Structure 1
């Protein structure tokens, strides 16, 4: 095993940019690269800007597709502008998972007054069925609930959600 460490067989030590071998430095550089790719962090030294930017855009498109699978009415309501709308919102945010990312985006669009009617109906139904505070994982509601979003009203009773009033079109 050339380059291996006898204390940890099978693991190779990788030289850092200055030539020294340091596992902690590699981990820090990997964390910087991940932050640049998914959380809007600065480009770490030693990386070419164009390939990192291309990878970042590809990851945003992938995230947009994943969120659209969890929030199909929101994505359909936004229409052809969905990839750009999602990418603009997500560009500087690390993911919280597709379900929560869609929820956070829908709430932000609602607060801005730009939530499309289909998205409003989907958000109202989700909020009637599930409790989500924006920080912790969503939890099913146990008690009856009514939720409103963008003119849509949904109610949950005994685990069933009904759209009482659709959003104005």
Structure 2
């Protein structure tokens, strides 16, 4: 019985946060409302870790984040923001403030997209969207802001 409950809970969680199918016995409207609420909450959590990215996108932040995050399980707010910023950078749609924040993060930490970020031990230079940041002795400096 407890294995059954655990399996049903896992199916519900997958439907809420990872784009899984709706499990039998659940009404679609309340599950959809809960899924959207969780995406909004997740958007706010990511914006707290990536304030310049969110500010750079302005009123488009919730829609941009939701479109990217819908159907993706979270890797945590820091990593979700990092992955979104990299995707926007690859698409050429990263706003200047987000580019500066991404360049600073890339200079300060190593993140491979799979494991949690680790602080860099050696000096590093990072570029994103025209912004250039450097890390030396644990301090990050923005050498060139992103073009506006």
Task: Give the alignment's TM-score, normalised by structure 1.
Answer: 0.87
Q: Structure 2: which 5+ residue stretches go unaligned?
A: none
Q: Which is helix-richer, 1 or 2?
A: 2
1:135 and 2:114 matched? yes
Secondary structure in structure 1 of the residue aligned to 2:143? strand
Among candidates 96, 99, 109, match of residue 120 of structure 1: 99
Q: How does 1:14-29 map to 2 (within 5 A)?
A: 22-29=1-8
Report the count of equivalent residues: 148
Q: Which has the larger radius of gyration?
A: 1
4+ aligned runs moved over 6 Å, structure 1: none
Q: How does 1:67-82 map to 2 (within 5 A)?
A: 67-82=46-61
Q: Structure 1: which 5+ residue stretches go unaligned?
A: 1-21
Taking the aligned partners of 1:46 and 1:82, their CA distance within structure 2 comes to 34
Superposed CA RMSD in Å reads 0.4
CA displacement at 1:36 relative to structure 2: 0.3
Among candidates 6, 10, 14, match of residue 35 of structure 1: 14
Task: Give the alignment's TM-score, normalised by structure 2.
Answer: 0.99
Taking the aligned partners of 1:82 and 1:41, their CA distance within structure 2 comes to 24
Higher relative contact order (CA 8 A, sep 6+): 2
